[in-house]
């Protein structure tokens, strides 16, 4: 734990503490200010739109210069847009804030590249696992505390207070960036083209970029994309389903997420070691299988214990998935095109069974944007028809993941640096 890896880990810890307070309850604010379950889907579907513009530009800069400046700009933008959530008088304002917050994905390609280059290839699995575990450890009580806050202050005032805390985390993390060193790529970056030129070059060069990707990267991109679509369908509705359909309280939901966090803390580093020693592809297969078994079974839940068992399965899945998929993507992507590939398909990671607050993150690239937007809107429509329907969609995405993992994903003989 040193250098840029330590700094990025500290930033992740600060962000995770506040994200774990807001995200599991974010949908309750939409309902509290007059929105419906269909509008929850619309709000979450707006956030990825900006990625179509921002990801290619960020990826272009990542391979040349300006990584830290992009991350700082994203931090200030995030703080401002989060303030809109705090004072939003209606769900339309929340939708606007969600749309604007999508521009903060500027941070993800450069942070992904810096993180990948901060770890020795043979230690990437356990390195990513350690980072995730520390963030989960420090944020372990966040969902439960947030549950108590929303139960005490009410859904509207309580969630607004959580967003205010979340805003402070962006300010702190932006200040931490000053400690990054040696984060820029070597060599002459050349003259910087205009945004329109970058977009024309990036989108016009998609066929060439896809051809340059190793087969394993293409397959892993499909697996990751399916996971993001699954989150788009269900992430905003976990808390709504648990409290409205199953009938548990906000505090009980927070307690379930607390127990889930304990499990992830205990298993993520061992899972990273397993991925490094026995194979990342095999570990990824185990994670996808657990997702297939656990996530859709929420439709059978009728009590606190049932929901807890479902989330335990999700905890096991994400503990295996995060280090295996992130390390595998780093192993497979050539360094000279890492920024462009990671802006297109992400760093390979995704929070399996995410419980709200959007469907993006460092794992998502612009290749997935339209699919995630459609999934978010579709999830809201399906939930309004029948609350179980979104999770049947998750079942379908897990089946597709299994097929691609079995047929196309293998550990490379030589890992990229």
The full set of domain ranges for the chain reads 3-176+205-408
* CA atoms of 370 and 359, how far apart (whole Å): 12
* Three-state DSSP class for residue 356: coil
**Looking at residue 250, what is its pLDDT?**
92
* CA atoms of 240 and 155, how far apart (whole Å): 12
* CA atoms of 329 and 346, how far apart (whole Å): 9
The residue-averaged pLDDT of 376-380 equals 91
The residue-averaged pLDDT of 308-326 equals 92
**Looking at residue 132, what is its pLDDT?**
78
pLDDT greater than 60 at residue 361: no
Closest to 76 (Cα-Cα) out of 169, 188, 189:
169
The residue-averaged pLDDT of 267-284 equals 88
* CA atoms of 16 and 18, how far apart (whole Å): 5
- Please report which confidence band the pLDDT of residue 271 belongs to, taking 50, 70 and 90 as the band edges: confident
DSSP tag of 352: T
**Looking at residue 240, what is its pLDDT?**
93
The residue-averaged pLDDT of 203-228 equals 87
Other CB atoms within 10 Å distance of the CB of residue 242: 25
Q: What is the mean pLDDT of the chain?
A: 86
pLDDT greater than 90 at residue 163: yes
pLDDT tens profile 42-64? 888 888 787 777 777 777 777 66
Task: Report angle CA 383, 288, 371 to the nearest 5 degrees.
Answer: 45
- Please report which confidence band the pLDDT of residue 354 belongs to, taking 50, 70 and 90 as the band edges: confident
* Side-chain half-sphere exposure of 341, counting CA atoms within 13 A: 25
3-state helix, strand, coil split of the chain in percent (to 5) is 80, 0, 20
- Please report which confidence band the pLDDT of residue 190 belongs to, taking 50, 70 and 90 as the band edges: low
**Looking at residue 212, what is its pLDDT?**
84
* CA atoms of 177 and 191, how far apart (whole Å): 25
**Looking at residue 373, what is its pLDDT?**
86
pLDDT greater than 90 at residue 2: no
DSSP tag of 103: G
- Please report which confidence band the pLDDT of residue 129 belongs to, taking 50, 70 and 90 as the band edges: confident
* CA atoms of 319 and 250, how far apart (whole Å): 25
* CA atoms of 23 and 371, how far apart (whole Å): 21
**Looking at residue 316, what is its pLDDT?**
94
pLDDT, greater one: 226 or 56: 226
pLDDT greater than 80 at residue 348: no
365, 345 Cβ separation under 8 angstroms: yes
Percent of the chain with pLDDT over 90: 45
The residue-averaged pLDDT of 158-182 equals 92
The residue-averaged pLDDT of 18-38 equals 91
364: left (phi over 0), alpha (psi -120 to 50) or beta: beta
* CA atoms of 232 and 364, how far apart (whole Å): 12
The residue-averaged pLDDT of 228-248 equals 93
What φ, ψ does residue 5 adopt, rounded to 5°?
-60, -40
Other CB atoms within 10 Å distance of the CB of residue 25: 25
The tokens describing 376, both together, are: 């978010």
* CA atoms of 67 and 185, how far apart (whole Å): 9
Report which secondary-structure segment, H or E, holds 184.
Answer: none
pLDDT, greater one: 269 or 61: 269
The tokens describing 281, both together, are: 């592809």
pLDDT greater than 80 at residue 65: no
pLDDT greater than 80 at residue 356: no
pLDDT tens profile 32-47? 999 998 899 888 888 8
Q: At what angle do helices 338-345 and 215-234 cross, to 10 degrees?
A: 30
To which CATH superfamily is domain 3-176+205-408 assigned? MFS general substrate transporter like domains (1.20.1250.20)
pLDDT greater than 70 at residue 363: no
Beta strands (DSSP E) in 36-162 are none
pLDDT, greater one: 359 or 411: 411
Closest to 163 (Cα-Cα) out of 21, 263, 372, 364:
21
**Looking at residue 411, what is its pLDDT?**
83
The tokens describing 183, both together, are: 């984060």
């Amino acid at each position: 734990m040193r250098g840029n890896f330590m700094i990025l880990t500290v930033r992740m810890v600060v962000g995770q503490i506040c994200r774990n307070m807001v995200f599991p309850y974010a949908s309750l604010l939409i309902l509290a200010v007059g929105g419906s379950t269909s509008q929850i889907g619309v709000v979450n579907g707006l956030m990825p739109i900006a990625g179509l513009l921002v990801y290619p530009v960020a990826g272009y800069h990542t391979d040349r210069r300006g990584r830290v400046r992009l991350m700082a700009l994203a931090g200030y933008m995030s703080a401002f847009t989060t303030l809109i959530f705090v004072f939003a008088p209606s769900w339309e304002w929340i939708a606007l804030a969600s749309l604007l917050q999508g521009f903060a994905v500027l941070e993800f390609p450069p942070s992904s590249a810096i993180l990948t280059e901060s770890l020795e290839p043979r230690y990437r699995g356990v390195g990513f696992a350690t980072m995730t575990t520390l963030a989960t450890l420090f944020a372990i009580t966040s969902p439960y505390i947030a549950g108590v806050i929303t139960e005490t202050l009410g859904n509207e005032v309580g969630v607004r207070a959580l967003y205010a805390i979340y805003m402070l985390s962006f300010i702190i993390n932006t200040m931490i960036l000053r400690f990054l060193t040696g984060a820029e790529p070597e060599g002459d970056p050349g003259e910087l083209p205009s945004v329109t030129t970058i977009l024309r070059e990036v989108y016009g060069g998609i066929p060439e970029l896809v051809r340059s990707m190793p087969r394993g990267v293409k397959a892993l991109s499909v697996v990751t994309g399916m996971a993001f679509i699954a989150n788009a369908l269900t992430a905003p509705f976990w808390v709504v389903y648990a409290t409205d359909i199953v009938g548990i309280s906000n505090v009980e939901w927070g307690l379930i997420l607390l127990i889930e966090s304990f499990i992830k803390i205990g298993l993520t580093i061992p899972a990273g070691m397993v991925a490094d020693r026995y194979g990342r592809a095999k570990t990824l297969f185990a994670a996808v299988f657990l997702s297939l078994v656990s996530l859709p079974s929420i439709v059978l839940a009728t009590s606190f214990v049932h929901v807890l068992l479902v989330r335990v399965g999700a905890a096991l899945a994400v503990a295996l998935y995060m280090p295996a998929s992130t390390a595998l993507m780093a192993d497979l992507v050539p360094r000279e095109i890492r920024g462009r590939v990671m802006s297109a398909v992400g760093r390979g990671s995704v929070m399996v069974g995410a419980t709200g607050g959007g469907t993006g993150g460092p794992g998502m690239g612009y290749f997935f944007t339209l699919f995630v937007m459609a999934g978010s809107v579709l999830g809201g429509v399906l939930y309004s028809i029948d609350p179980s329907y979104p999770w049947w969609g998750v079942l379908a995405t897990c089946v597709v993941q299994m097929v691609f993992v079995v047929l196309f994903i293998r550990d490379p003989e030589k890992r990229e640096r």
